Amino acid sequence: MPSFKEEAFTIGLVQMRCSADPNENLENAKWKIREAAAQGAQIVCLPELFRSQYFCREESAELFALAETIPGPSTDTLGRLARELRIVVIAPLFERRAPGLYHNTAVVIGDTGEIEGMYRKMHIPDDPLYYEKFYFTPGDLGFQKFDTRYGAIGVLVCWDQWYPEGARLTALQGASVLFYPTAIGWHPSEKQQYGAAQLDAWVTIQRAHAIANGVYVAAVNRTGYEGPPGHGLEFWGSSFLADPFGQIIARADTGREEILIGSCDPKRMDEVRRNWPFLRDRRIDAYSQLTQRWIG
């Protein structure tokens, strides 16, 4: 049955700093979720791997100890909070699926406190200070839509945000909002020369997903510096919500914690798609080669 809903709903995006103490980060997240709910948010999204600092800056087997099961401590705690506040929470976690098998996972916790679904990050990067292939097995749940009490949503994670295929496949299932919980920032040695262009590209590609698919896009980043001086990452914050034509509804600063609140109205999606009918004009008969690695 179609899950399309006509009612507008409000989302909250939590841009936060992360300390070395997982329990401190969980408590901080809980307070910020409460603050977002107090401002009217019905769906609240936390940043990628919010329970710890971004440990993928190095390859260390000891850091696998940060992982947790799903269900587990974080989903239990946030489930109770979601049920109390009658909201939906998107919680990105380091998942211990089995001994030796780990994922970068975003859990959708419904307003009853139960897990309504989860998404495992599909695209896994391997770059200086982003050594994620050491830790994470690529996702095997595919691109999904989650029907929550307030609206149909899609969740992808960080590096996924650079790939139009994931956005398209999620939008085609009926998601009204694409959430991208993220941990992205500047290398200290690159910021002066490339920093502005990197940030601009990050915003531009995600606004393009909103335009191409006629959906809302919510990017939720962490902020603050993590790591030793000169060899860490300065997370650039700049979380934002874009409407179905890519217009920025709300945007956070680069260097401080913030909670963004914005409304997502399916009627706006309908308006944009009527005037810019990209989905209507897709040539689905001509795209089979997209499943090939290279066409030469």
Q: Which residues pair with 88 in a beta bridge?
A: 43
Residue 7, judged by CB atoms within 10 A of its CB (0-12, 13-18, 19+), counts as exposed
Over its C-alpha atoms, the chain yields an Rg (Å, rounded) of 18
Distance of alpha carbon 231 from alpha carbon 189, whole angstroms: 9
Segment holding 35, helix H or strand E:
helix 22-38
Three-class SS state of 198: helix
Distance of alpha carbon 245 from alpha carbon 76, whole angstroms: 37
**Contact (CB, 8 A) for 153 and 196:** no
Distance of alpha carbon 229 from alpha carbon 235, whole angstroms: 14
Residues labelled catalytic: 48, 121, 158
For residue 206, the tally of other CB atoms under 10 A from its CB is: 21
**Contact (CB, 8 A) for 241 and 216:** yes
Q: Number of helices (H) and strands (E), helices first, in the chain?
A: 5, 17
Distance of alpha carbon 8 from alpha carbon 263, whole angstroms: 7
User: Tokens 């606004």 belong to which residue?
Assistant: 207
Q: What residue spans of 136-257 are helical by DSSP H?
A: 164-171, 191-213
Name, in order, each residue with C-beta under 8 angstroms of 240's C-beta and a sequence gap of 6 or more: 13, 203, 206, 218, 219, 248, 249, 250, 251, 252, 260
Task: Say which DSSP state 113 is in.
Answer: S
CA distances from 20 to 31, 49, 187, 228 (A): 18, 12, 20, 13
